[in-house]
Every structure is written in C-alpha cells, then in structure tokens.
A = this chain, B = another copy of it.
C-alpha cells in the first residue's frame, strides 16, 4: 500500500519548475524557529545521536506540563520519542495488536489520517469506520454506540485525531470524557489520540490524563507546530507500563542528531509559540471568510488548515494551481471524501491572499469555458 499524503513538495517542484508556496502540508507558516535552525551544525553528523534521550524527554515533559498546571504531571517515564509521530503510530499498533489469537478491532472515525487504517490492517485488525455528522464533525453518539457493540470483542483500539486531519474538527472536554468512559467500561479497549495539531486548537491537551492511564495513548509532533517535517521527530505520552513496552519496539538512535538538537531549541522558544498561535487563529478566520465569499463551503476548523468543498474537480484545480506556484491537498484519497474537497493550510496573510486570488481566477475561468 502506497502512502498518499500532502507535502509532495519535491516531486511538485520538478513539475512546477518555479518557487512554490506549500498549502498542502499543514505546517506552521512561520517555518522553523530561527533558534532551531541555528542548531543544525553539520560537523555533528559524524557522531551518533545520543542513545540516552533523557535530556530531550525532560524538556518535553516541562513543555507539556506547563500547558496543564493543575493536573497530573507527565514525567520522563511517561514519554517516548519517535522518528516522526508516524513511528509511534506503527509501534503502538504493533504493540496493541500483538497478542495472538485474539479478535482485533480498530475503530476509526472518518475522514481521518490514512496511516491509522494502514497500520491497524498490517497488524491484523479488522477496521470499523464511524461516519461523521453532516458537518463532518465527530458523531460521538455513533462512536460510543459502535464501541458498545465491540465491547465483547477481545481488543478494540479507537483512533481519534483532535483536531482532526483533514476536517479540523476537535472534540471538546465533555465529548472526550464520554469517550473515555466508554473505553473504561470495555475491558481490552484503548484510545489512540493524535494531538499533532493541538497547539493550534482552542481545546486543552489530554496529556495529563494520559500520564495516569495505560488505556490512553497520545501522540504529538514537532512536525506541525514547530515546522520540522524534514527532521522526523514526534513523541508519545501514556502510562508508564505502556511506554515501557513501547520503547522495546523503538530503534536505538531513532532521533537523528539534528532532530534532537532542533527539538531542544524549539521547546525554549516561547515567543515563537505565542506568535504562531495568534497568527494562525487570525489567518484561519481571514482565509475561511474569504473562501466562503467566493462561494466555497468551508468547514469549521480548530487547526491550522481548512477543509473546503465545491462543485469542481479538485485534481484539476490542484494541477492548475501547481502550474502557478501553489501546492494544495486534494482529498479524494481520504476515505469518506471525494474530488470535490480540498485541504489548505493556513499561511501568512500575503500568501493566503495569493491563494484566494488564484482560486477566484480559476473559478472565473471555469465559468467562462462552460
């Protein structure tokens, strides 16, 4: 199974033969924090990355605990590092579905990130999909209903992505609590919660809860908020028992030396964090408003990207925009979506304006040629 994702920047670059603005890959529009970029020191390549990752785990622990001053603290023993959060999706799927001769089920609300389905299948799980509500937000009642039906099955893993890729919808605290209740009521069930976009969200992280539970496994990433997709680094938070088992599957030196150093620098840069949150919130409102003005249906988003729908062929639009230096994600490869949908990341004002202008131009041209 070939993975299909946004961010096929290099392939697109060869097609476009020009400068490209990437709206396809959900990355912080400010790019890498300057302080992190400065940590890229080429001479370090000739040394292995540290085998002992305590220093970075401590920094991650401080970072996530600061978000949640009141709750339980997630210590170093609650944290695992991964070569991108994708390593943690693979390894947790492997761990959770490892037990032989048990019936294995994954419950995946759609549309969502395709790798949950890929790795659940790889490790032998049967996939159950939960359809969204009409506005493409999570249908919590339906999710809990399916959970109840699966309750007597041996193993059930519920994948939640909040804010969700590609819809931008998130679960609020009350909804999270009802889902956690359903998981607790089942015996061999757990939640895989993908918080890779949580820094852009108005909802609070569940890291504090995860530190006290072995049936809640959270992944987070440096890829999106800190704009480090090229380096491959993410982390997981869960109960100590789960993290210990997971670490047996991790590769030694899974975090390359640059990812290690850049991540440490990112976690210190409070100014970058504040600036990014403020700008993304403002630009999301602007971009969403403008796209609606030109007639697109835009879904409510709690993340740094927008899902939009229109009566067009998004593959054609994508190619047209690429020839003009703009890369977007067309969503036909997402289960539950089709060629009418596009996903665009929220970028800086001058970039967002270019996107709006170009889409407008495309629509006018299409209208004329009808």
Contacts and interface: CB of A to CB of B under 8 A. Distances in A.
A86 B254 CA distance: 9
Given A11-B52, A49-B230, A231-B257, A251 B83 contact: yes
Interface string A23-37: 001010001100011
Contacts of A69: none
Interface of A: 1, 3, 5, 7-11, 22, 25, 27, 31-32, 36-37, 40, 42-52, 83-84, 86-87, 90, 100, 115, 122, 227-232, 248-249, 251-254, 256-259, 262
- Chain B CB within 10 Å — which of A3, A9, A48, A84 has the most? A48
B262 A259 contact: no
Given A40-B42, A42-B32, A7 B254 contact: no
Which 3 A-B pairs rank lowest in CB-CB distance, beginning with the nearest? A230-B257, A7-B48, A3-B252
Nearest to A31: B46
A32 B46 contact: yes
Contacts of A231: 45, 256-258
Contacts of A27: 46
- Chain B CB within 10 Å — which of A7, A115, A248, A258 has the most? A258
Nearest to A28: B46
A37 B47 contact: no
Contacts of A36: 45
A41 B102 CA distance: 48
Nearest to A55: B10
27 contacts: A1-B248, A3-B51, A3-B252, A8-B51, A9-B48, A11-B50, A25-B47, A25-B48, A31-B43, A31-B46, A40-B40, A40-B45, A45-B229, A46-B227, A84-B251, A86-B252, A87-B251, A90-B249, A100-B100, A115-B252, A122-B248, A122-B249, A229-B253, A230-B257, A230-B258, A232-B256, A256-B259
